[in-house]
Amino acid sequence: AAKRKRIGYSRYDSSENIYSKERLTLVGDLIDALENDQFELHYQPQVAAENGRICGAEALLRWQHKEHGYVPPDKIIEMAERLGIIHKLSLYVLRKAIAECRRWHQLGSDVSVSVNLSVRDLANEQLCAKIREYLNEFALDYRYLTVEITESVMMENLALSLGQLKKLNKLGINISIDDFGTGFSSLAYLKRLPVNELKIDKSFIMEIDEDENDQQIVSSTINLGHSLGLKVVAEGVETQQVMDMIKDFGCDQIQGYFISKPLPAKAFRQLLKNASRN
């Protein structure tokens, strides 16, 4: 508890006072940060299991507050949702990530970028049009963009999700179900949703080498994904042992600290440059 005492960033801390002074400064500064482009995106590499090459990167929101220090992204998202500026924030992230991906391509790489969307984003009627606009602006092909949406979100708003996801998918944008295995999607739904990728939640991956249940779950999820023609990604791979096991199970892509932590844009570009030399 001591570690979290500073402002009570723990996600489900019910004692947290939403009207606390700190919270109010944060909220005001969040709006400023968005206006003044003060957020950063870090990029975590995703590698192909078959050859270890970087094939993608997940964009993760980072904000260093001048007084309070690092504010975790789920906290930022939650505040933005409450403030009613989540659409704006997500469009900001999308545009920034698309612009960055274009730079990778200018370096001769063909890595794609994955962006997380929140619940509310699927209700944004401008979402598709804006994504098209950004992809055109930076002359990036649709196939290099993946949007990640958590399983629970899709299931909660199935009707809405279905419409938006179909629109995105029609454009050629890839759709990934994030945190897969933590929600309750049935096979019937999975078949109906226009998805291209399953991202197995890190809670099943992190200790898989020590847990037979996790092994069963992950191996059958990979088979299920493949039988539906989907690409399967594992997140939260932290050790060689886990990496080897996941590869054996036939997972397509690997993401996790064992490969790399999320990196600032510049460091990720450097990684791409170094990789292209080998």
Asked whether 186 and 228 are in contact (CB, 8 A), the reply is no
Q: What are phi and psi of 255, to 5 degrees?
A: -140, 140
Which letter does DSSP use for residue 11 in this model? T
Candidates 256, 268, 271, 272; binder of ligand C2E (CB under 6 A) is: 256
Nearest approach, Cβ of residue 148 and ligand C2E (Å): 6
Give the separation between CA 131 and CA 175, rounded to whole angstroms: 13
Is there binding between residue 116 and ligand C2E (CB under 6 A)? yes
State the Cα angle at 79 between 66 and 58, rounded to 5°. 80
In the complex with Ca ion, the residue whose CB is nearer, 29 or 148, is 148
Site stretch for ligand C2E (CB under 6 A), options 22-30, 113-121, 125-133, 213-221? 113-121
Asked whether 49 and 247 are in contact (CB, 8 A), the reply is yes
Candidates 236, 252, 268, 271; binder of ligand C2E (CB under 6 A) is: 236
Site stretch for ligand C2E (CB under 6 A), options 27-35, 183-191, 254-262, 263-271? 254-262
Give the separation between CA 220 and CA 242, rounded to whole angstroms: 16
| Partner interacting with residue 93 (select from Ca ion, ligand C2E, none; CB below 5-8 Å by kind) | ligand C2E
Query: Considering only CA atoms, which of 272, 260, 192, 191 is closest in space to residue 228?
Result: 191
| Partner interacting with residue 262 (select from ligand C2E, Ca ion, none; CB below 5-8 Å by kind) | ligand C2E
Give the separation between CA 121 and CA 227, rounded to whole angstroms: 29
Nearest approach, Cβ of residue 179 and ligand C2E (Å): 6
Q: What is the contact surface with ligand C2E in residues (CB under 6 A)? A: 44, 60-61, 72-74, 77, 93, 116-118, 148, 178-179, 202, 235-238, 256-257, 262
